[in-house]
Amino acid sequence: MLQAYVFDAYGTLFDVHSVIDAAEREYPGQGATLSRLWRAKQLEYTWLRSLFGQYRDFWEGTRSALEFACAVLGLACPQVVQDRLMDEYLRLALFPDVIPALDELQGKTLAILSNGSPHMLAQVVASTGLVGRFSAILSVDEVGIYKPSPRVYELASTRLGIPKDRIAFVSANYFDVAGAKAYGFYVYWLNRSGAPADELGLKADKEISNLRDLVI
C-alpha cells in the first residue's frame, strides 16, 4: 500500500563525517573529534531554535556549530578555514548503499525531506550525481522549523499529495525516526551501526542495516 519513499538526507543518504579528511588537513590529529562535535552541536542548535521559535537556516546553524566546536577544542577558525570546511557540506560523500537502492526503487515516487537549506540540498544532490532521482527535494525552510516537528513531516504528505499512512519514511537518525512515527508515517530505521534504539516509546515499523533492504 506504500506509494512513496521519503528519505532523510544527512546521515542517511549523505555521510556527514566525510568531512573528516578535510578537517584533518586543517587540524592534524583532530579531524574525527571535530567532526563528531560539529555534528552534535549542529543538531542541538536545530532543536533549540525550534523550541525558541527563532528559525535560522541550516547553513547558518552549521557554521555556528563549527565555530563552537573549534572553540571547545581550542582551534583557531578564521573565515577562510570556516569557508573551506563549510564547502565540504556541499559535496558530502554518498553512502555506498544509496545508488544500488535507488536503482532498485526506480519507477517509485521518491523524495528527500531534510533539515538542509535549499541551496545546500541542491548542491549536494548535484555533486553526488542524484539529480533527477527524486520527485521532490523538500527543505524545512518551507515551514520554518526543524525536525522532529510534525509540521516538517506534514510537508511531505502535502507536497506529494499522498496520505501519510501511504508514505514510507527512511532515516538513520533516531530522533527523526521517532518524529516520523509520531506523525504517522510507515518508518524504516536505517541502523547501519547496530546502535540501540532511543527510549522514546516510539519504534520504527522496520529496522534495516542497508538501504537495499527496502526492496527485499
Q: H/E/C letters for each residue in 69-117?
A: HHHHHCCCCCHHHHHHHHHHCCCCEECCCHHHHHHHCCCCEEEEEECCC
Average confidence (pLDDT) over 103-110: 93
Q: Is 8 a catalytic residue?
A: yes
Which pLDDT does position 207 carry in this prediction? Answer: 97
Which pLDDT does position 1 carry in this prediction? Answer: 86
Q: Please state the domain count of the chain.
A: 2
Name the residue among 185, 200, 14, 190 with its Cα closest to residue 94.
Answer: 14
Which pLDDT does position 116 carry in this prediction? Answer: 97
Phi–psi pair at 13, nearest 5 degrees:
-95, -40
Q: Are residues 108 and 10 in the same domain?
A: yes
Name the percent of the chain lying above pLDDT 70: 100
Average confidence (pLDDT) over 67-77: 97
Q: What angle do CA 202, 205, 208 make, to 5 degrees?
A: 110
Which residues span the domain enclosing 57? 16-88
Q: Are residues 52 and 124 in the same domain?
A: no
In single-letter form, the type of residue at position 115 comes to: N
Do residues 176 and 189 make contact, with C-beta atoms less than 8 angstroms apart? no
Q: Are residues 100 and 83 in the same domain?
A: no
Would you say residue 216 has pLDDT above 70? no
Give the CATH number for residue 48.
1.10.150.240
Domain boundary among 88, 112, 143: 88
Write out the DSSP string of the chain: ---EEEE--BTTTEEGGGGHHHHHHHSTT-HHHHHHHHHHHHHHHHHHHHHHT----HHHHHHHHHHHHHHHHT----HHHHHHHHHHTTSPEEPTTHHHHHHHTTTSEEEEEESS-HHHHHHHHHHTT-TTS-SEEEEGGGTT--TT-HHHHHHHHHHHT--GGGEEEEES-HHHHHHHHHHT-EEEEE-TT-PPPPSSS---SEEESSGGGGG-
Which pLDDT does position 174 carry in this prediction? Answer: 97
Q: Are residues 116 and 168 in the same domain?
A: yes
pLDDT in tens, 158-174: 999 999 999 999 999 99
For residue 26, give the C-alpha cell. 586543517
pLDDT in tens, 27-65: 999 999 999 999 999 999 999 999 999 999 999 999 999
pTM summary value = 0.95
Q: Are residues 99 and 50 in the same domain?
A: no
Q: Are residues 23 and 40 in the same domain?
A: yes
Do residues 54 and 64 make contact, with C-beta atoms less than 8 angstroms apart? no
Which pLDDT does position 215 carry in this prediction? Answer: 80
For residue 172, give the C-alpha cell. 538513520
Q: Are residues 53 and 102 in the same domain?
A: no
Q: Are residues 71 and 149 in the same domain?
A: no
Q: Are residues 59 and 78 in the same domain?
A: yes
Domain boundary among 67, 88, 109: 88
Do residues 8 and 172 make contact, with C-beta atoms less than 8 angstroms apart? yes
Name the percent of the chain lying above pLDDT 90: 98
* Residue whose entry in the numeric block shows the C-alpha cell 565555530: 67
Which pLDDT does position 192 carry in this prediction? Answer: 95
Mean pLDDT score of the chain: 96
Give the CATH number for residue 103.
3.40.50.1000
pLDDT in tens, 114-149: 999 999 999 999 999 999 999 999 999 999 999 999
